Amino acid sequence: MKFFVDTADIKEIKELNDLGLLDGVTTNPSLILKSGGKIAEVTKQICDIVEGPVSAEVTATEYSEMMKEAKVLAKIADNVCIKVPLTFDGLKACKAIRSEGRMVNVTLCFSANQALLAAKAGASFISPFIGRIDDIGIDGMELISEIRTIYDNYDFKTEILAASIRTVNHVKQAALIGADVVTVPPATLKALVKHPLTDKGLEQFLADWAKTGQKIG
């Protein structure tokens, strides 16, 4: 499974990239707003840090305007992945952008039928929003499972990018089902390493080692 981080915070991205576990970054207008910077400048900084795909989202809703914005975003760096919404105009833009050889992340997916259309349009990634589905009383993981089955049935190459991840359990469940990618907030990614028994075990090892009076090296 690939790990993307869902943030536009340069400091957080540098820290996580240094771990060697980061495969890409996803951003959106809300995260750009939170960063306090201009989209082109922030995206360029991220692309200079991370080798993998960096999703930068268009804000237009009509096809022609989406294509204009996509051209601007594509010039930022070779690893920019253009992010478009799951609408008819967005799917049309996806098809056109993919024909130019650029990566496309189709976002705001909430149904298997939408994911099927995105794959037909040639999307590089489909982003089903797990947490937001959970918020309305539906199991978001069922959607991941449905998309996985459909994509496997027809050998679609579109990668399932589980988004709106709220918990470490979401990550585990997405991995068990077979999502290709998860994009997670920095805090959630850092929380994956934590377990109380790991902390307790390390504390005991260190205490016992101290009693030996030895040093390594």
Query: Which residues belong to the active site?
Result: 83
SS3 180: coil
* Cβ count within 10 A of residue 202: 10
* Dihedral angle, C-alpha 39, 43, 44, 50, nearest 10 °: 170
Q: Which ranges of the chain does DSSP label H, i.e. alpha helix?
A: 10-17, 29-35, 39-49, 63-74, 88-99, 112-120, 130-135, 140-154, 168-177, 186-191, 196-212
* Cβ count within 10 A of residue 188: 18
Task: Give CA separation, 56 vs 13, 85, 201, 207, in Å.
Answer: 15, 12, 42, 48
Distance (Å, whole) CA 69 – CA 62: 11
